[in-house]
Amino acid sequence: MENNQRDLLFQEKQNVNNFTFDRRVAEVFPDMIARSVPGYKAIIDKSGKLAARFVQPNSNCYDLGCSLGATTQEVACSIIVENVSIIAIDNSQAMLNYARLNADGIRPDTTISLINDDIRQTSIINASLVILNFTLQFIQVSERLALITKIFEGLKPGGCLILSEKIRFKKAKVDQKITDLHHQFKRCQGYSDLEISQKRESIEDVLIPETIDEHIERLNKIGFSESHTWFQCYNFCSIYALK
């Protein structure tokens, strides 16, 4: 089973269907996300640094929407305290099949559980770190408050939520300019205009971005004591929120 293939999924002209995380996507996922999300590698790397700072001994660490486990692995390698369980959850079995291979043997002294579940149903308990790296954007906007509230309730005092998302800008003109810059980034990564437009068509009803203000307001309303954007590149950002 190879998962290091180049993403050519939208290279040919096709009848575009709604994007799903199936086997074909799982096979090319590392290439797809690295060439589509500016700052992806930096965010994954720094998620490890945040884990080193915020993960508490005798606690759980959740990677929600773990895909192939890139963040899970970085966190596993970065934790400096003892007796931590890492729980990585995704509802795509195709993704988890590869994540299982990738997580094998990383860290014998830390438990890593890979679970096929819908993150809207999963219980969050005794958590010192919860990570939503580019996953909340795939949850219906109307369901986001309940999910983040559940995460807040499952976090220990001092616990941290890392929330990385594609974002939109309130002013249409600004949104268009930044979207153009993102497409320029994708062109520089080797995607053609056809690939960019077909991927966009496929994902636009599936990935619903919000503004940074909408994210921060929700986090504040739920009760996080501080929420800040610590990374932004074009229309992608990462926020940390502390309980």
Based on the shown chain and the rule CB under 6 A, indicate whether residue 67 belongs to the binding site for ligand GEK: yes
DSSP for residue 79 = -
Rounded to a whole number of angstroms, the minimum distance from the CB of residue 194 to ligand GEK is 20
Interface with ligand GEK (CB under 6 A), residue from 134, 152, 185, 191: 134
| Spatial separation of the C-alpha atoms in residues 212 and 201, rounded to whole Å | 23
Q: Report strand pairing: 85-90 vs 60-64.
A: parallel
C-alpha angle 109/111/112, rounded to 5°? 130
User: For residue 92, which of 1, 22, 19, 2 has the smallest C-alpha distance?
Assistant: 22
The minimum distance between CB 162 and ligand GEK, in angstroms, equals 10
**Per-residue CA distances from 40 to 52, 160, 218 (Å):** 19, 20, 24
In the complex, least distance from residue 65 CB atom to ligand GEK, rounded to whole angstroms: 3
Radius of gyration over alpha carbons of the chain, in Å?
17
Sole binder of ligand GEK in the list 119, 129, 130, 160 (CB under 6 A): 119
**Which residue type occupies 25?**
V
Q: Does 118 bind ligand GEK (CB under 6 A)?
A: yes
Minimum gap (Å) between residue 153 Cβ and ligand GEK: 18
Tally of CB atoms within 10 A around 22: 12
Question: Which of the stretches 77-85, 118-126, 179-187, 220-228 binds ligand GEK when contact is defined by CB under 6 A?
Answer: 118-126
Q: How far is the CB of 70 from ligand GEK (least distance, A)?
A: 4
What is the contact mask toward ligand GEK in residues 35 to 54, using x (rule: CB under 6 A)? ---------x----------
The residues with which 232 forms a beta bridge, in sequence order, are: 237
Contact residues for ligand GEK (CB under 6 A)? 21, 33, 44, 65-67, 70-71, 89-92, 95, 118-120, 133-135, 138-139
